[in-house]
Structure 1
Amino acid sequence: MRTTHLLYLHGFRSSPASVKARQMAAHVAQQHPAVSFWCPQLPPSPRAAMQAVAQGIAGWPRASMAVLGSSLGGFYASWVAQRMGCPSVLLNPAVDPARSLERYIGEHGTWQNPGERIYFLPEYIGELQALDTRGLPAAAPELLIVAKGDELLDWHEMVRRYPGARHIVQEGGEHALSSFAAYIPEIARFLRLA
């Protein structure tokens, strides 16, 4: 079955204007124009973010959809894939964001628009815990792309979290995965974009 609907989920403090989201959107538009591509702006609340995503994909065909997520978006992508039974691509995914984001409680600027403020509230830690799918078998094929040089997250932890996934482990690199464009053809093949 070819993928006809692709969901992209951005990371913490990021947006649909991120480099990776724009690169993926451009590739789909140019090379796979029949594919419906959606990268929503996710609110800081994990519960609200996944409610919005669930509503947005409610009418999508489960048999031909896929999800791609970066960092916190990778954590969310695992939740979507588990819920929808669809393939997923995980880019330097947050494995335990309830732990890693605890120190970010408070006000922050966003990466693409530093003047824009978001508020990460203490109750969001519990919301993240409620979305954690660790310990559940993968519902569909997974592709994990990690950089050993990730300065925010431990690549060993990512590899351990997704033992059954297809692994691409990049020497060096960084959390932002600036080499992402080089992996797009492989992602397109893995997801069998229509």
Structure 2
Amino acid sequence: MANRRPSSRRTLDAARLHELALAYVARFATSRAKLGRYLSRKIGESEWTDPRDAMAACAEIVAKMDQLGFVDDRQYAAMRGAAMTRRGLGARRIKAQLWVDGIDEADAGEAMESAAAAALGSALGFARRRRFGPFAAARADDPGLREKQVAAFVRAGHAPGLARRILAIAPGDADALAALDAEMGGD
């Protein structure tokens, strides 16, 4: 008889899955979808021993965490959107990330309105961080470099028109920055 090696996969049941969910929401701000993906991954990595269906148990636990207020997609969207805005990312990038995080449009609405309202400040923060336009050491006169900078703004979620307007401002021109701020509504 050949020696059989015991399974290296850990066993998992609904009670242990609930403990994993509690530990996860205690440690991380998360959405319902992200919690569901985490629990599904844990189920896939383990040997399910509970008589109930694994995915049904997963859905029940996510619903319970939502009911208890441990998971709040609207609050998560607001927090995530504000953090991304502070990092200089635009509304399109924020919308894409919230979609990846499983936030529906109804829950993302307030975060998206906030990101749209802070578009200029966020774009200027991006320009400052990357040392583009008015924050550069020298004016970028090369059209190829200018288009690469516009592309960087677009990848960060900003509108190309706004990027071109910021990049048109000469380095150190505080008056032009103030004029752009006044024209855009003064974030």
Shorter-chain TM-score tier: under 0.3
Q: Which has the higher strand share?
A: 1
Q: TM-score, normalised by structure 2?
A: 0.26
Higher relative contact order (CA 8 A, sep 6+): 1
Instruction: Determine which structure has the larger helix proportion and give its number.
Output: 2
